[in-house]
Structure 1
């Protein structure tokens, strides 16, 4: 399955919305979009990674989110992750990343 990424901006956040599967073959798209969002956002703006349309998130996707968190944090920008799939949320919980990242359950 492919991964479709869209990005937009509001007054207080840069949104990166992903739909599909994040795996070794598609993670570069997510990484690129998150890098651009972290670069664009200036505090007090946040970067919101909306993964509510993601049906599968491999460990490479989890790593990309941790790197984005670290990069945003260096600039004083918050990274929020919206998860809409219990299986995807489980990946964060099993790895303990739900305690590092600001995970919110979405639609």
Structure 2
């Protein structure tokens, strides 16, 4: 399956919306979109990684989110992650990243 990424903005956030599977073959797309959002956003604007349309998130996707968290944090921009399904959330819980990242069920 492929990964489709779209980006949009509201008054207080830049959204990176992913739909499909994030794995070794598609993670570069997610990295690129998150890098651009972290670079473009300025406090108090947040970056929101909306993974509600993601059906599979490999460890490479988790690494991309940690990298984006570090980059955004360095710039003073909060990163929020929307996780839409239990299977994707499980990866965050098993690795302990649910304690590091600001996970949400919806916008």
Pairwise TM-score range, normalised by the shorter structure: over 0.9
Task: Find the counterpart in structure 1 of residue 77 from structure 2.
Answer: 77
Shift of 1:11: 1.0
The Cα of 1:106 is off from its aligned counterpart by 2.9
After TM superposition, which residue ranges in structure 1, 4 or more long, deviate above 6 angstroms? none
Residue 75 of structure 1: how far off its partner (Å): 0.3
Unaligned runs of 5+ in 2: none
Whether 1:4 and 2:4 are equivalent positions in the alignment is yes
For 1:67, the equivalent position in structure 2 comes to: 67
Deviation at 1:8, TM superposition (A): 0.6
Which residue of structure 1 lines up, in the alignment, with residue 34 of structure 2? 34
Query: What does 1:21-60 align with in structure 2 at a 5 Å threshold?
Result: 21-60=21-60
1 CA distance for matches of 2:101 and 2:57?
Answer: 15
Any gaps of 5 or more consecutive residues in structure 1?
none
In 1, Cα distance between the equivalents of 2:44 and 2:94?
30
Give the TM-score, by structure 1 length: 0.98
Kindly report which structure 2 residues correspond to 1:92-103, keeping only aligned pairs within 5 A, or say none: 92-103=92-103
The TM-score, its normalising length taken from structure 2, stands at: 0.98
Root-mean-square deviation (Å)? 0.9
Question: How far, CA to CA, are the matches of 1:106 and 1:57 in structure 2?
Answer: 17
Paired residue total? 107
Cα distance, 1:105 vs structure 2 = 1.2
